[in-house]
Structure 1
Amino acid sequence: MNVRKAIKQDSGKLLELIGHKAEFDRSMKGFDGEISTTKEKIERTLFGEYPFAHALLLEVDGEVQGFALFHYRYSSFRGEPSIWLDDLLVVGKHRSKGYGAELMHALKTVAQKSLTSHISWTASPHNTKAHEFYKKLGAEVERMDGQRPYFRWAMYG
């Protein structure tokens, strides 16, 4: 098992993983739209002159089996950057093997190296297994939007 930063040549794999994430989110009633991104959009927006987001890839036996897609945010009031985790997915048969935790800990390392104050994200109200997973990592529910939890994982040193 290995976690690494995605590179431009991974754009097609990222598109495939985003498709898997959309299917999973539909099953959790967290997404009901269609994907409009393309390999070319991913190449331009993640690996172009101005990267708007970043991705970590999880490899098992040399094959990509999961990802974390994130971007930086900045609070002018606190004068601190943070990370917004947009997508986290481990492909079906590889779930519940600790790989999601590996991805999250790799993201935490990125957060600490870049001196961000915290990582934030949301999860489907129906994905209670994920809620427990995030709490076990040390994340807290920062707020609720109806039944939808918003998580915050504080970074220390």
Structure 2
Amino acid sequence: MSTRHTGNVRPATPSDVPELIRLVRELAVYEKEPQAATATEADFTASLFPPDGAPVAHAHVAEADGRVVGMALWFLSFSTWTGRPGIWLEDLFVEPEHRGTGLGRELLATLAALCVERGYTRLEWWVLNWNEPSIGFYRGLGAVSQDEWTTFRMDGDALQRLGAR
């Protein structure tokens, strides 16, 4: 059984990119799609820490025993209904041996605090329907599922066809 965390959560730095990639690959294995995680360190660096312009994504990491063991990768969203931004949590992952220690909760609490501080109206994310441990965790924090919505995605050939002019 895990003990309560003695780690900390902090914004990611460029030196964390290799660890972020490692954790994304671990998440892809957990979600049964290891082949889908094709992002490179260069991709993450360009999106999180661009040399010019604003980042298009952000990350926080959770550390324990001086090592990165969890992450939250996110970006800004926008609600036309509230006219305000929010945070879209793209990925939340804590290594299995560190689950139940409070680090996942702390990562989410950090993003919730950013929303509150900045006047953002929402913190949103997806979770796979089969991922009952995570669903239970999120519900325990007060999150509400949005079951009335259907997610659509367009990528690959369909995206290319529609985008061709």
Give the TM-score, by structure 2 length: 0.80
Q: 1:16 aligns with which of 22, 37, 46?
A: 22
Letter in 2 for 1:98: G
- The structure whose Rg is larger is 2
Provide the residue aligned with 1:85 in structure 2. Answer: 89
Distance in 2 of aligned mates of 1:123 and 1:133: 11
Q: How many residues align structurally?
A: 143
Provide the residue aligned with 1:39 in structure 2. Answer: 41
Provide the residue aligned with 2:12 in structure 1. Answer: 6
Letter in 2 for 1:41: D
Distance in 2 of aligned mates of 1:99 and 1:77: 32
Letter in 2 for 1:25: E
Distance in 1 of aligned mates of 2:28 and 2:103: 19
After TM superposition, the runs of 4+ consecutive aligned structure 1 residues lying more than 3 A away are none
Distance in 1 of aligned mates of 2:149 and 2:80: 23
1:3-152 alignment, distance < 5 Å? 3-26=9-32, 31=33, 33-48=35-50, 49-144=53-148
Structure in which a larger fraction of residues adopt strand: 1
Distance in 2 of aligned mates of 1:119 and 1:98: 19
Letter in 1 for 2:43: K
CA-based RMSD = 1.7
Give the TM-score, by structure 1 length: 0.84
Letter in 2 for 1:6: A
For structure 1, the residue ranges without an aligned partner over 5 or more in a row are 149-157
Shift of 1:53: 0.7
Letter in 1 for 2:37: I
Distance in 1 of aligned mates of 2:55 and 2:125: 20
The 3-state SS of whatever aligns with 1:102 is helix
Distance in 1 of aligned mates of 2:114 and 2:11: 10
Per-residue CA deviation, residues 36-65 of structure 1 (Å, 9 max, x unaligned), is 211011111111132111011000011100
CA gap 1:144/1:21 in 2 versus in 1, 3 angstroms: farther
Shift of 1:114: 2.0
